[in-house]
Structure 1
Amino acid sequence: MVHIRFEGRSYDIAENQLGVTAGMNDKAVKERLAQHFDVRRDRLETYVIERRPSGDLIIRPEAVYG
């Protein structure tokens, strides 16, 4: 499962729906997300991809504290 926080909304999307596979690097995952949301890839440039032990991906904006 891919959990995405994009433009203030949360989405849960199956990997096969996005075309994401376990061995993909961050750049490739962001390219698939950009295609899915029909935006330019640079909109996701600062997003963080967390890979969970379960195999799930969490994709979110970079957190800024302070």
Structure 2
Amino acid sequence: MVHIRFEGRSYDLTESQLGITTNMNESAIKERLAQHFDVGRDRLQYYVIDKRPSGDLIIRPEAVYG
């Protein structure tokens, strides 16, 4: 499962819906997300990808504190 927080909305998609495989690096994952949302790759520049022990991915904006 891939949980995505993008521009204030949450999405739960499967890896197969996005074309993501387990051996993809973060850059390739962000490229697939950009294609899915039909936006430029740069829109995901400040997003982080948390890989959970369960194998799920959480993709969210980078947290800024202070």
Under a length normalisation based on structure 2, what TM-score does the superposition of the two structures give?
0.98
> Secondary structure at 1:58's aligned position in 2?
strand
Instruction: Show structure 2 runs of 5+ residues with no match.
Output: none
Q: Deviations over 1:3-29 (max 9, x none)?
A: 000000000000000000111100000
What is aligned with 2:53? Answer: 53
For residues 31 and 63 of structure 1, what CA distance do their matches in structure 2 show? 21
Identity %: 79
> Secondary structure at 2:34's aligned position in 1?
helix
**Displacement after TM superposition at 1:45 (Å):** 0.6
Instruction: Show structure 1 runs of 5+ residues with no match.
Output: none
For residues 55 and 62 of structure 1, what CA distance do their matches in structure 2 show? 20
RMSD of the alignment, in Å? 0.4
**Displacement after TM superposition at 1:43 (Å):** 0.2
What is aligned with 1:25? Answer: 25
What is aligned with 1:14? Answer: 14
Give the total of aligned pairs: 66
Poorly superposed stretches of 4+, deviation over 4 Å: none
What is aligned with 1:42? Answer: 42
